[in-house]
Structure 1
Amino acid sequence: MTQRNPILVRTTWAACLLGSLALVAIASGAETDADPVEPVRVVPDAASAAQAFISLLDEDARGKTLYALADEERFDWHFVPRTRNGLPLRDMTGEQRSAAYDLLQSALSSQGYLKASAVIELERILGLLEGRPERRDPENYYVTIFGEPSTDEPWAWRFEGHHVSFNFASPSGQLTVTGPAFLGANPARVPSGPKAGWRPLGREEDLARALVLSFTADQREQATIAAEAPSDIVTGNDRRARLDAFEGLPADAMTEAQRAILYDIVHEYVGNTTTDFEWMMRIQTEIPASDIYFAWAGPTEPGAGHYYRIHAPVFLIEYDNTQNDANHVHSVWRDLENDFGGDALARHYEESDHH
């Protein structure tokens, strides 16, 4: 029997969600008394935002931005500082850049957009801390579009640079798929200057530590998969995320209060995009607590290198903070069925007569 998750009786994530949806509705000109589920279907807004962005590009910029949907470039994602294919912010006019931000906002929640903006701002801070501001470029973030943006035909797009990689696929006008969705932070805690103490990804760490510290000795022993944390997220930038086995402590072996924290962690990740309502409903009604595992590696003391993951048959969350004396975070959300559109895109082709 599927165990009811305690999130059924928790309303904080839903309240935050409805607030975000109201903002989206107002921004898009939608009626504020509409069914609150409808704004989650962001494809029309994303498609029109992408079309508006493309309309501002000259021939050279279009050549950098636009790829066929079937192009292998769509799967070449990464989170390290490198040259990418696409149109970087630094090569955009002010009007084009504004349209690029509109496109990003069409698919991210207000929380996700603020986090992405903060991670980009960290590039500037990191350059100052390193004494090499020319090496860290907050305008070295790229927009790449695959296929023709449409409300009823499949297409995809990506926003990516150092420590940010959001990959979106729209198999049809009724569904937007997000993944991989990566955010990193270096420094994880700004050590000095006007933003000293700033932690853009602090809740991802604090919630997980609160959970592991709430465990009994037996629970912590089962949850701990290694005494030392790995040097990075285990699945890296793999095209398809795979782990050999489910490890750690299953959610049905936790108390109700512990499961509540676990689902708060999950929502901290899925809450970055406008698909969070569907995901949290799916988790609370379809995924048994026995199928969701929490695993921890490394010490539990703040400031020590640590790693955790939340692994279920249909999703994976990884978080690692070991580099730069445990002041450098990598975190990722993977949809194990629909990264890059995955099964959803395949189903669209199978079910569409004209394909």
Structure 2
Amino acid sequence: MTAQNLSEKATTFLNLLSDEIKEKVLFELEDEERFNMNYVPIPRKGPTFHDFDEKQKAAALDLLQSSLGKEGYRKTQEIIALEKVLRIIENDDNDKMPDGRPRRDPLNYHFCIFGDPASKAPWGWRFEGHHISLNFTSAEGKISASTPSFFGTNPGIIKTTNQEEKEVLKKEAELGFQLINSMNETQLKVTRFTEEAPLDVSSANHRKVEKLYPEGISYTALSEDQKEVLLQLLNVYLSTFEPHFESSFWEKIKDSGIDNLTFAWAGSLQPGTGHYYRIQGPTLLIEYDNTQNNANHAHAVVRDLTNDYGEDILREHYKRHHN
């Protein structure tokens, strides 16, 4: 998917909207709303699926699917579907949002576009709701940023309804446990920095994030088999991105040095009790946390330490074109 094609899909979506809905969806690229990331069920700006007719909804989903890799779109759809599961599990018809709609609502996901996709200037867009925050930036004829990228699941493993034992973030969990449980005593002392996992990812919804400490075990201190598992785990996260951006992000990580990657763990070494891990490098922070609801409620986030929201790319663009 080229940025031009993505621009065309965004423009097609916008052209289908009424003036009233278009007013809700459009923001200036520099608007502070672009950095208002969140992943809990709160009131948000931007229209939702409730506001769209079938053609508008199809165009919105086409834009979303074109902005993600196959795995990213799968996870997005399955996390949205978990809202129906939560409504059954919680069985609370009185749990409403301020606008009167159910708090658990698969239609309550918001679209915001920042800037003008039809122009040659940089622009961005966001898809966000409960347990999803996806932020995209396009500049200089390419998708220049797809972070922050957040996926969460509640329940982590569906243990009720007819979808029993379904787990949206299964590979993220399994490979993490495989890696930590392959470590010898010396490696474990370096990697596991506390026996109690944090209550959430440390980066939360902060606009800017930095490397976290302690960093954990270095890639160079892993065995060859362990290195392979770590790279498989890293690939699970990067494969959610649109293929061209995934490739450029991989190159960025390699250019900064695979040997500079680290892996850190907190909490239980077995599923069912709170656990957390992070992968870090000079340009990368990935966090996975599963502590809530008896460790059956997972949060996973990818941050680019140098280019979240495309800020690094945009600085270069403005330097060249608006000196």
**Same fold judged by TM-score > 0.5?**
yes
Equivalence for 2:39: 79
Equivalence for 1:278: 248
Shift of residue 176 of structure 1?
2.6
SS of equivalent to 2:44: coil
5 Å-filtered alignment, 1:212-251, equals: 212-245=180-213, 247-251=215-219
1:111 maps to a residue whose letter is: E
Task: Name the CA distance, whole Å, in 1 between partners of 2:138 and 2:292.
Answer: 35
Question: Which of 290, 304, 308 is residue 339 of structure 1 equivalent to?
Answer: 308
Question: Which of 77, 91, 101 is residue 117 of structure 1 equivalent to?
Answer: 77
Task: Name the CA distance, whole Å, in 2 between partners of 1:246 and 1:300.
Answer: 18
Equivalence for 1:328: 297
Question: Which of 305, 321, 343 is residue 274 of structure 2 equivalent to?
Answer: 305
TM-score, length-normalised on structure 1? Answer: 0.85
Shift of residue 89 of structure 1?
1.1
Task: Name the CA distance, whole Å, in 1 between partners of 2:211 and 2:218.
Answer: 16
Equivalence for 1:36: none
- In the TM superposition, what whole-angstrom CA distance separates every residue of 1:100-134 from its partner, at most 9, and x where no partner exists? 10110111011110100000000111111111363
Distance change >3 Å, CA 188–CA 244, structure 1 → 2:
closer
Which sits farther off after the overlay, 190-199 or 274-283? 274-283
Distance change >3 Å, CA 282–CA 341, structure 1 → 2:
closer
> Are residues 1:49 and 2:17 paired?
no
Task: Name the CA distance, whole Å, in 1 between partners of 2:144 and 2:234.
Answer: 19
User: Residues 211 and 280 of structure 2 are in contact (CA less than 8 Å); yes or no, is this contact kept in structure 1?
Assistant: no
Distance change >3 Å, CA 228–CA 246, structure 1 → 2:
closer
> Are residues 1:269 and 2:229 paired?
no
User: Residues 151 and 173 of structure 1 are in contact (CA less than 8 Å); yes or no, is this contact kept in structure 2?
Assistant: no
User: Residues 131 and 152 of structure 2 are in contact (CA less than 8 Å); yes or no, is this contact kept in structure 1?
Assistant: yes
SS of equivalent to 1:342: helix
Equivalence for 1:33: none
SS of equivalent to 1:236: coil
User: Residues 136 and 143 of structure 2 are in contact (CA less than 8 Å); yes or no, is this contact kept in structure 1?
Assistant: no
SS of equivalent to 1:102: helix
Equivalence for 1:12: none
- In the TM superposition, what whole-angstrom CA distance separates every residue of 1:288-343 from its partner, at most 9, and x where no partner exists? 23311100000111111100000111010001000000000011000111111111
Identity score, percent: 39
User: Residues 197 and 276 of structure 2 are in contact (CA less than 8 Å); yes or no, is this contact kept in structure 1?
Assistant: yes
Equivalence for 1:70: 30
Which sits farther off after the overlay, 151-160 or 61-70? 151-160
Question: Which of 153, 156, 159 is residue 124 of structure 2 equivalent to?
Answer: 156
- In the TM superposition, what whole-angstrom CA distance separates every residue of 1:33-83 from its partner, at most 9, and x where no partner exists? xxxxxx4xx311211110000001111101100001111010001000011
1:55 maps to a residue whose letter is: N
Q: Give RMSD over aligned pairs.
A: 1.4
Task: Name the CA distance, whole Å, in 1 between partners of 2:248 and 2:77.
Answer: 24
User: Residues 271 and 295 of structure 2 are in contact (CA less than 8 Å); yes or no, is this contact kept in structure 1?
Assistant: no
TM-score, length-normalised on structure 2? Answer: 0.94
Task: Name the CA distance, whole Å, in 2 between partners of 1:114 and 1:151.
Answer: 30
Question: Which of 73, 89, 93 is residue 129 of structure 1 equivalent to?
Answer: 89
User: Residues 246 and 293 of structure 1 are in contact (CA less than 8 Å); yes or no, is this contact kept in structure 2?
Assistant: no
Alignment gaps of 5+ in structure 1 = 1-38
Shift of residue 244 of structure 1?
4.8
Task: Name the CA distance, whole Å, in 2 between partners of 1:164 and 1:261.
Answer: 26
User: Residues 116 and 123 of structure 2 are in contact (CA less than 8 Å); yes or no, is this contact kept in structure 1?
Assistant: yes
User: Residues 300 and 306 of structure 1 are in contact (CA less than 8 Å); yes or no, is this contact kept in structure 2?
Assistant: yes
Shift of residue 281 of structure 1?
3.3
Task: Name the CA distance, whole Å, in 1 between partners of 2:143 and 2:86.
Answer: 37
5 Å-filtered alignment, 1:190-209, equals: 190-209=158-177
> Are residues 1:103 and 2:72 paired?
no
User: Residues 250 and 289 of structure 1 are in contact (CA less than 8 Å); yes or no, is this contact kept in structure 2?
Assistant: no
Q: How many residues align?
A: 313
5 Å-filtered alignment, 1:247-258, equals: 247-258=215-226
Task: Name the CA distance, whole Å, in 1 between partners of 2:258 and 2:191.
Answer: 15
Task: Name the CA distance, whole Å, in 1 between partners of 2:199 and 2:171.
Answer: 21
Task: Name the CA distance, whole Å, in 1 between partners of 2:125 and 2:173.
Answer: 29
Which sits farther off after the overlay, 92-101 or 149-158? 149-158
Task: Name the CA distance, whole Å, in 2 between partners of 1:150 and 1:316.
Answer: 32
SS of equivalent to 2:303: strand
